């Protein structure tokens, strides 16, 4: 009995809504409600690092008009910094360039749950990771846990489904060959190679990596790059994992390379790019190379600031949707 | 390297925070941060029905000082009504008695996720269900799904654990005997029996129940009540399930009962109490009884409005915490 | 390359098999391979208790010709007794009535896994429980765990699906109303009522129950029985749970019942029936009733020995298959 | 009551058992019962390929005396071949070298379940994979599913825990650095390098790999080998994945390598080694190399036949146990 009355009330409200908005707008609203995107980024405390993130968000919005895209930061430490900033009454005034969405940024769980609460049935969680290591595994753990929620009746399920977009270089899974992803990225970074070539420098990519998952895919990417661009010497080195600096230094020496262009092979040019790669401290990659007599130029542009690279993630959102048949 | 710098930044921020708040307050803040409660209610669109809900919230706050208690509505339909109301600029002005927390109420998933985002490791989800039927099973499905989230490193887990408090009458599980719960409720509702006794009426409880799960626990509750209060005739009947109206009518007839006091055996006196139980429509329980020549009085006070009954849920929050060792 | 060769070898083998068996037999073999049943019983160490179990197995085989039905014992303790017996060289010779399947009985996990190894994609686990309490929950835990196994490619999944048949009285779930199940059992046990009626005795069912899950469904069954068979006094009492002996004794006294027929409301008439119900020890139900001046007759036939009752489980296997669309 | 009697019976049986076996033997039996190992192998239909598998089993037995080790074949196709063989009355007579355990081999699920049925609480599933690709992910899916089985009471859990040993080269996970595993394998295969050196040949490892997971770890292994053994040219190529034959041919050409020793970088020298690597068909690696004017020698010894390599898996079983604290 209760249900019937509820439904009647609901119908009355919907009818009222139709009269207010006009049927067409309401239909559009309904269609738009179906799917939303959570862009899951490690996060950055550097305001300038936001450019890469916001650009990816824009590319996804452009490719998927009408679908909301929410940014979530996965790092608890970074999120805590932003939580402090939003309680600091002076911060917002001093940083008009920071959008409210970032100032009030949530983690992936709360971002997903808010969209669920607003009625979105399909939520695509799109990471901005380069490859699938520990952080991607953690995000997959969130998605798997949420998708495992079961209710007695199907219509009470919180979601139709949460989808997980793949990183730029995928590295496992049967739907999308990671080798195709490597090839695609190799094509897209052509301007980096061109920049190095014009400057008469070797191109050294500085990737993140990790200690716990094989980072061999970066070696494979390096090989693909070397085959595709034989005119320029190309190297990959990493914050953590292999290929590492020891190998880089040995190869540079054996190749007699004297001039390099350092570039972050990371979505965001944040702390790692500014300090670990190009900083003036003695243990930065720049300092270590200069100590070996190598002339260093550095670019501080994250991959996400390239529209073509950012579009990869928009493509991966669309692939995840297509794989699900939506 | 990134991490180290992050941690350093974090330390600086924490130090600043200490200076602002004073160490004692900050320590208190940290202690308070550990555990939070989500009070998961079906929800109601009747403003008067909020009393029972808000009273339970108060009882939990009283028993667990310093621990935040957020109300969540599990019903999508009810939540949608409140979503409309908060977009209606006139509603809030016309209903100053409705707290902002209700006007902006979220579902259990978003309520849990917001607390996770704010740093709470233990979140106790406490339903206000009378027994464990379909709705409780659904809530347990949410909790189980969220607790199944796994991250590579333990310290990146979104929660320490989400705990689920038991309904008023539990009906399964090995930690807390449901028979004890039945006894406890039987003691607490003594004022209802007293009210009926003074009025020279039989007491008829109107419970909700459901079609899909055994509601035999209500029969068992009825037997316990009859044994405890032999001086007053006591019956239970239900919106859905057994014991049902057919049995009630047969027993009233065989007992020659002529005067009854109807009382909702529900946490909230909402639509069911007002309309299905005590309404003037011909298919309300009141009308059906009167058609059988029975004199009917009705109480429209939900069980949640009784401090003693509300305290059961505070107790069940504490039991869930104690079972977990926190 | 390996796979291709494997497949070729496989095809050769299949072709050889076809020539040996003839295509029709092979097709039949393939069809039969699809689905198998595991009859999950608590188990019994009493050879005479096997009758009820084997009869249920026969009923399922009769209703589902060509589908293998394996008996599994869920009790570790009972299984250990049979493990000892099969290592005892004299046991088999002394007990020719015990089928090899029982002598070599496994638990539900190994029974399911053996069928998986033999190529069955759908495996229906059919318990012989009367209602869904702790043991059914445990079995459901096995089925849920096994169904949660995920492989990278769908074709490498160990199962199509493991299905779980419902107990005789179901008590939750949305597909099959437990009230319908109660009604059906009430119809089927008519001969018990008739036996009591002829003997001028009240019928006292002795059920198992448990302490941790609501056993209110037995109260509900009792009420349905009383309504259906007004000519005979009918009571239910339980080893564990409510309605209990205290209530039975009180009702017998208030009803002035002097002669009763005890009957196990259990699938198997094993230890509980022989000792707890009808034994000569002073704490058996029989002795307790006699001490209260009641004349007692006892039937030691388990419900499973009734073809009509056994057929319920065959029906529930079929319902589980139909619900899955197979 | 039932339980008490069961326990009494159980005690009688145990006492009898003690008298038969003697208390010491019985205690040993109990201790041995705790843990068992399932050696999960893809499987092979080549009788000669069994040597590598049986050697690994022996190494584990040697390192873990008293702990049973059961071989399981993960490949449905291979298992079906053995199912045919055991129904062929002539096969066993013609192949006395094939142990009964292989002839009656089961898949991992049935092997695990049989051990559970026999009372083993901890079961270590140890794969013989070189790295963690699709097959390892599938095995992990089995283990995760089985470990997710929940029962109401802890003592009714089917397992204490199923543990999963890591592949030879691990490639993810935080407990055991895969780089350490790579180093260890590089040390162990020294005899292969020595064999190539003595023969004046380059060493070409033929690994399996796959299309769906990054095989970059093999590139990393190749680099580690080249650094450790500068005196011999070392290459890795794969059935599926990268580094592939195209790269091998290009490097051989640029290195002007004229003589190679082919060796399977696989646990078992089965179909891939015999046919894809060293076969006489025109698309075998041997034929392809010879067509490029390279002199080819081939070893058909699987890595599992090396005691040192086999011991890696015994070590990984022990690591899994140590990580769990048993």
pLDDT (0 to 100) of residue B9: 53
Residue B95 structure tokens: 């209903």
Q: Considering all CA atoms of chain D, what is the largest pairwise distance in Å, rounded to the nearest integer?
A: 83
Q: Which residue of B has its CA nearest to A20?
A: B88
SS3 A172: coil
Q: Which of B78-87, B313-322, C76-85, D2-11 has the lowest mean pLDDT?
A: D2-11
The closest CB to that of D9, out of C75, C81, C156, belongs to: C81
Interface check for A77 against chain C (CB to CB < 8 A): the answer is no
Instruction: Concatenate the DSSP letters of all residues of D150-212 into one string.
Output: --SSGGG-S-SEEEE---TT--S-SSS-HHHHHHHHHHHTHHHHHHHHHTT-EEEEEE---SS
Residues with Cβ within 8 Å of B15's Cβ and at least 6 positions away in sequence, in order, are none
Q: Which residue of C has its CA nearest to A172?
A: C152
Alpha-carbon gap: A77 to the closest alpha carbon of chain D (Å):
21
The closest CB to that of D113, out of C9, C113, C212, belongs to: C113
Contact call for D114 and C112, based on CB within 8 A: no
Q: Give the C-alpha separation, A45 to C7, whole Å.
A: 56
Contact call for D77 and C109, based on CB within 8 A: no
Residue B46 structure tokens: 């009747």
Interface check for B26 against chain A (CB to CB < 8 A): the answer is no
Which residues in chain A have Cβ-Cβ distances shorter than 8 Å to B109?
A: 113, 116-117, 158
> pLDDT by residue (tens digit) across C104-155?
999 999 999 999 999 999 999 999 999 999 999 999 999 999 999 999 999 9
The answer to whether the beta carbons of residues B106 and B72 sit under 8 Å apart is yes
> pLDDT by residue (tens digit) across D152-193?
999 999 999 999 999 999 988 888 989 999 999 999 999 999
Q: Give the C-alpha separation, D134 to A136, whole Å.
A: 17
Give B322: exposed, middle or buried? Use CB within 10 Å, 0-12, 13-18, 19+.
Answer: exposed
Q: Where does the pLDDT of residue B11 fall: very low under 50, low under 70, confident under 90, or very high at 90 and above?
A: very low
Residues with Cβ within 8 Å of D97's Cβ and at least 6 positions away in sequence, in order, are D47
Q: Which of B213, B216, B254 to mutate to test the interface with C (most CBs of C within 10 A)?
A: B216
Which residues in chain A have Cβ-Cβ distances shorter than 8 Å to B106?
A: 113-114, 117
Nearest to C38 by CA among C208, C130, C199, C162: C162
**Length, in residues, of chain D:** 326
Sheet order of strands, C234-238 included: C234-238, C202-207, C259-264, C295-298
Alpha-carbon gap: C204 to the closest alpha carbon of chain B (Å):
19
Instruction: Assess whether pLDDT exceeds 60 at residue B25.
Output: no
Q: Once rounded to an integer, what is the mean pLDDT over residues B141-148? A: 97
Percentage of the residues of chain D whose pLDDT score is greater than 70? 90
> pLDDT by residue (tens digit) across C202-235?
999 999 998 889 999 999 999 999 999 999 999 9
CB pairs under 8 A between A and B: 142
Q: Where does the pLDDT of residue C162 fall: very low under 50, low under 70, confident under 90, or very high at 90 and above?
A: very high
Nearest to B297 by CA among B309, B305, B289, B308: B289
Which residues in chain D have Cβ-Cβ distances shorter than 8 Å to B153?
A: 174
Contact call for D134 and C146, based on CB within 8 A: no
Alpha-carbon gap: A153 to the closest alpha carbon of chain C (Å):
8
SS3 B126: strand
Q: Give the C-alpha separation, C175 to C180, whole Å.
A: 11
Alpha-carbon gap: D216 to the closest alpha carbon of chain B (Å):
21
Interface check for D206 against chain C (CB to CB < 8 A): the answer is no
Q: Give the C-alpha separation, D322 to D326, whole Å.
A: 6
Alpha-carbon gap: A110 to the closest alpha carbon of chain B (Å):
5
Interhelix angle for D23-33 vs D2-21, to 10°?
120
Interface check for A156 against chain C (CB to CB < 8 A): the answer is no
Only one residue has tokens 């002598």, namely: C103
- Across-strand partners of A127? A40
If one counts every other C-beta atom within 10 angstroms of the C-beta of residue B154, the result is 9
Q: Which residue of A has its CA nearest to D243?
A: A220
Q: Give the C-alpha separation, D257 to D234, whole Å.
A: 10
Q: Where does the pLDDT of residue D18 fall: very low under 50, low under 70, confident under 90, or very high at 90 and above?
A: very low
Contact call for B219 and C214, based on CB within 8 A: no
One pLDDT digit (tens) per residue for chain A, 326 residues:
444 554 455 444 444 434 433 444 444 444 445 999 999 999 999 998 999 999 999 999 999 999 999 999 999 999 999 999 999 989 999 999 999 999 999 999 999 999 999 999 999 999 999 999 999 999 999 999 999 999 999 999 999 999 999 999 998 888 898 999 999 999 999 999 999 999 999 999 999 998 889 999 999 999 999 999 999 999 999 999 899 999 999 999 999 999 999 999 999 998 899 999 999 999 999 999 999 999 999 999 999 999 999 999 999 999 999 999 99
pLDDT (0 to 100) of residue A173: 86
Q: Give the C-alpha separation, B267 to B42, whole Å.
A: 10
Instruction: Assess whether pLDDT exceeds 80 at residue C321.
Output: yes
The answer to whether the beta carbons of residues C296 and C302 sit under 8 Å apart is no
HEC states along D241-304? CCCCHHHHHHHHHHHCCCEEEEEECCCCCCHHHHHHHCCCCCCCHHHHHHHCCCEEEECCCCHH
Alpha-carbon gap: A46 to the closest alpha carbon of chain B (Å):
11
Contact call for A153 and C173, based on CB within 8 A: no
Interface check for D174 against chain B (CB to CB < 8 A): the answer is yes
The answer to whether the beta carbons of residues C107 and C78 sit under 8 Å apart is no
Q: Give the C-alpha separation, A304 to A44, whole Å.
A: 13
Q: Which of D133, D144, D152 to mutate to test the interface with C (most CBs of C within 10 A)?
A: D152
Window 113-132 of C, Cβ < 8 Å to D = 113-114, 116-117, 119
Instruction: Assess whether pLDDT exceeds 90 at residue B172.
Output: no
The neighbours of chain B, by the rule of 3 or more Cβ pairs under 8 Å, are: A, C, D
pLDDT (0 to 100) of residue A33: 58
If one counts every other C-beta atom within 10 angstroms of the C-beta of residue B179, the result is 19
CA D206 to chain centre: 17
Q: Where does the pLDDT of residue B316 fall: very low under 50, low under 70, confident under 90, or very high at 90 and above?
A: very high
Residues with Cβ within 8 Å of D242's Cβ and at least 6 positions away in sequence, in order, are A179, A220, A223, D209, D215, D216, D218, D219
For the question of an ipTM over 0.85, the answer is yes
Interface check for A5 against chain B (CB to CB < 8 A): the answer is yes
Q: Give the C-alpha separation, D120 to D35, whole Å.
A: 6
The closest CB to that of D153, out of B152, B153, B174, belongs to: B174
Q: Give the C-alpha separation, D211 to A135, whole Å.
A: 23
Residue B18 structure tokens: 């200490």
Alpha-carbon gap: B320 to the closest alpha carbon of chain D (Å):
16
Instruction: Assess whether pLDDT exceeds 50 at residue D31.
Output: no
The answer to whether the beta carbons of residues C113 and D112 sit under 8 Å apart is yes
Instruction: Assess whether pLDDT exceeds 90 at residue C197.
Output: yes
Residues with Cβ within 8 Å of D296's Cβ and at least 6 positions away in sequence, in order, are D259, D260, D262, D286, D289, D290
Question: For A128, phi and psi rounded to 5 degrees?
Answer: -110, 25
The closest CB to that of A174, out of C152, C173, C174, belongs to: C152
Which residues in chain D have Cβ-Cβ distances shorter than 8 Å to C19?
A: none
Which residues in chain B have Cβ-Cβ distances shorter than 8 Å to A18?
A: none
Which residues in chain A have Cβ-Cβ distances shorter than 8 Å to D177?
A: 211-212
Instruction: Assess whether pLDDT exceeds 80 at residue C5.
Output: no
The answer to whether the beta carbons of residues C318 and C280 sit under 8 Å apart is no
- Across-strand partners of D237? D206
Interface check for D177 against chain A (CB to CB < 8 A): the answer is yes
Contact call for A213 and D171, based on CB within 8 A: yes
Instruction: Assess whether pLDDT exceeds 70 at residue D277.
Output: yes
Angle at A150 between CA A147 and CA A152, to 5 degrees: 155
Q: Give the C-alpha separation, D262 to D235, whole Å.
A: 10
Q: Where does the pLDDT of residue C175 fall: very low under 50, low under 70, confident under 90, or very high at 90 and above?
A: confident
pLDDT (0 to 100) of residue B110: 98
Which residues in chain C have Cβ-Cβ distances shorter than 8 Å to D3?
A: 77
Alpha-carbon gap: A131 to the closest alpha carbon of chain D (Å):
10
The closest CB to that of C214, out of B137, B178, B212, belongs to: B178
Q: Which residue of B has its CA nearest to D154?
A: B174
Residue C286 structure tokens: 């029989």
Alpha-carbon gap: B70 to the closest alpha carbon of chain A (Å):
15
> pLDDT by residue (tens digit) across C53-90?
999 999 999 999 999 999 999 999 999 999 999 999 89
pLDDT (0 to 100) of residue B7: 47
Q: Once rounded to an integer, what is the mean pLDDT over residues D128-149? A: 96
Q: Give the C-alpha separation, A135 to A268, whole Å.
A: 15
Q: What is the mean pLDDT of chain C?
A: 91
Interface check for B284 against chain C (CB to CB < 8 A): the answer is no
């Amino acid at each position: 009995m209760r249900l019937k009355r509820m439904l009647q009330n609901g119908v009355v409200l919907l009818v009222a809504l139709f009269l207010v908005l006009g049927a067409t707008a309401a239909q559009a609203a309904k269609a738009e409600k179906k799917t939303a995107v959570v862009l899951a980024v490690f996060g950055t405390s550097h305001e300038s690092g936001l450019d890469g993130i916001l650009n990816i968000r824009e590319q996804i919005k452009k490719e998927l008009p009408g679908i909301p895209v929410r940014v979530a930061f996965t790092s608890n430490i970074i999120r805590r910094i932003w939580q402090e900033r939003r309680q600091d009454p002076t911060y917002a005034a001093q940083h008009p360039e920071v959008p409210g969405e970032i100032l009030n940024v949530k983690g992936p769980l709360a971002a997903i749950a808010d969209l669920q609460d607003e009625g979105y049935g399909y939520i695509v969680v799109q990471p901005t990771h380069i490859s699938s290591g520990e952080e991607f595994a953690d995000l997959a753990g969130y998605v798997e846990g949420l998708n495992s929620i079961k209710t007695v009746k199907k219509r009470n399920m919180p979601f139709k489904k949460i989808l997980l977009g793949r990183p730029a270089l995928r590295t496992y899974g049967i739907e999308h060959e990671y080798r195709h992803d490597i090839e695609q990225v190799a094509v897209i970074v052509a301007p980096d190679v061109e920049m190095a070539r014009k400057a008469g420098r070797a191109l050294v990519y500085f990737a993140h990596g990790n200690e716990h998952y094989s980072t061999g895919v970066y070696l494979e990417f390096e090989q693909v790059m070397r085959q595709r661009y034989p005119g320029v010497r190309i190297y990959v080195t990493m914050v953590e994992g292999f290929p590492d600096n020891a190998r880089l230094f040995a190869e540079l020496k054996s190749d007699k390379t004297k001039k390099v262009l350092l570039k972050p092979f990371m979505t965001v040019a944040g702390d790692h790019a500014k300090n670990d790669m190009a900083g003036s401290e003695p243990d930065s990659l720049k300092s270590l190379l200069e100590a070996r007599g190598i002339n260093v130029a550095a670019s501080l542009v994250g991959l996400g600031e390239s529209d073509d690279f950012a579009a990869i993630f928009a493509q991966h959102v669309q692939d995840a949707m297509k794989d699900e048949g939506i």
